[in-house]
């Protein structure tokens, strides 16, 4: 049996189902690369009395066969920050397990795609999610900006997920990249939303124009994200005033 266990934004998000799966598993892993988790592995080990081994990208993408083979012989749990099905890597794990006739149990949890509603924007009005990559030498993709423009054209909000490798991208870094990539200058005078640690007590949300957000960017921790609002319902406008003061 293979368990894919969502552990939410921090350890306090653990469900009874998640704890039960961990306790019942002979081997427990935690995946560490799809997003930064604000909990502590040591707390999970104390709670479940299980030794938890950390998996990096290579372990999940290249070593998945080894994990699936192990899960055929005994119960294995893979702990995933947020919800286990928000990363394509984990869909691949499920498909591979199906080919091996290996049963998989999925345990859901809060993720960035649900807690972003703390901004006051209506979830069903979000368009395609954008991943903002950190520019590197000979690697400066800009297609993500076209997705933001397309969402704006249709009046939809855009959730911008920030790069997490080799370390989580900061709000300051993200805003700088967005500003430099906005060739149409559609965001110059537009209020956007900067968020960090959503779903936790450390949550910080601010809604302002880019220049003002740059000035206060040092206040934000990681993990962080950016939201580009589309057309606003009057209730959404009212909600955003909470983060504009």
Nearest to 225 by CA among 166, 163, 134: 163
The pLDDT score that the predictor gives to residue 38 is 66
Do residues 103 and 124 both lie within one domain? no
Domain that holds residue 121: 113-243
Chunked in runs of 10, what are the mean pLDDT values of the chain (245 residues)?
93 92 94 72 85 84 85 94 86 90 95 96 97 85 93 98 89 94 92 95 95 91 95 96 88
- The neighbouring-strand residues paired with 104 are 2
Q: Is the pTM of this model over 0.85?
A: yes
Do residues 33 and 133 both lie within one domain? no
The pLDDT score that the predictor gives to residue 182 is 92
Dihedrals phi, psi of 33, to nearest 5 degrees:
-115, -20
Do residues 124 and 79 both lie within one domain? no
CATH number at residue 70: 3.40.1010.10
Q: How many CA atoms lie within 13 A of 96 on its CB side?
A: 19
């Amino acid at each position: 049996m293979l368990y894919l266990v969502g552990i939410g934004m921090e350890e306090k998000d653990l469900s009874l189902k998640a704890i039960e799966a961990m306790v019942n598993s002979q081997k427990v892993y935690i995946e560490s690369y799809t997003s930064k988790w604000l909990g502590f592995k040591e707390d999970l080990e104390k709670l479940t009395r299980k030794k938890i081994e950390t998996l990096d990208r290579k372990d999940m993408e290249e070593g998945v066969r080894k994990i699936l083979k192990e899960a055929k012989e005994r119960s294995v749990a893979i702990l995933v920050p947020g919800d286990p099905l928000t990363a394509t890597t984990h869909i691949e794990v499920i498909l591979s397990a199906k080919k091996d006739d290996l049963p998989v149990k999925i345990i859901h949890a809060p993720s960035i795609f649900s807690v972003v509603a703390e901004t006051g924007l209506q979830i069903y009005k979000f368009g395609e999610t954008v991943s903002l990559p950190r520019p590197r030498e000979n690697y400066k993709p800009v297609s993500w900006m076209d997705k933001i423009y397309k969402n704006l054209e249709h009046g939809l909000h855009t959730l911008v997920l920030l790069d997490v490798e080799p370390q989580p991208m900061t709000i300051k870094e993200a805003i700088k990249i967005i500003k430099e990539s906005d060739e149409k200058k559609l965001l110059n005078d537009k209020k956007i939303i900067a968020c960090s640690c959503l779903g936790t007590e450390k949550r910080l949300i601010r809604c302002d124009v880019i220049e003002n957000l740059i000035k206060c960017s040092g206040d934000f921790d990681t993990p962080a994200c950016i939201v580009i609002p589309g057309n606003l319902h009057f209730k959404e406008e009212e909600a955003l005033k909470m983060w504009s003061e």
